[in-house]
Amino acid sequence: MAVTACLAIVVVTPFALFASMGRGYLLPIGAAMLLMMVMNLAQILGVAEYFPWAVPVLYAMGDSPLPPISYWSVFLTGLAGICATYFWMKFADQNR
């Protein structure tokens, strides 16, 4: 359960960027709903192990071991979310 929680925490870091860009909570909620729909579509198409937001769910189900690319996609998504949010906060116009 702890590994699943850590995977979920890492993949939600891009939503901090969405919250910063939208200056509120509606944009990240909309993005989360859109990603849930895309995650279900990826599961139907059979490529969910390559979709970073589906990896925590697949890991929690525990049906079969995930390939290493799944964990790398989660790591790279989290890193991209952290870096993008940092640079948005650093260079965005904060006067509004």
Q: What is the pTM of this model?
A: 0.83
Q: To which residue do tokens 């891009």 refer?
A: 14
Asked if the model's pLDDT at residue 96 lies above 70, the reply is no
Instruction: Render pLDDT for 9-65 as a digit per residue (tens, 0 to 9).
Output: 999 999 999 999 988 899 999 999 999 999 999 999 989 899 999 999 999 998 778
Q: To which residue do tokens 């949010």 refer?
A: 85
DSSP string, 35-84: HHHHHHHHHHHT-GGGSGGGHHHHHHH-SSPPPHHHHHHHHHHHHHHHHH
Q: How confident is the model at residue 76 (pLDDT cuts 50, 70, 90)?
A: very high
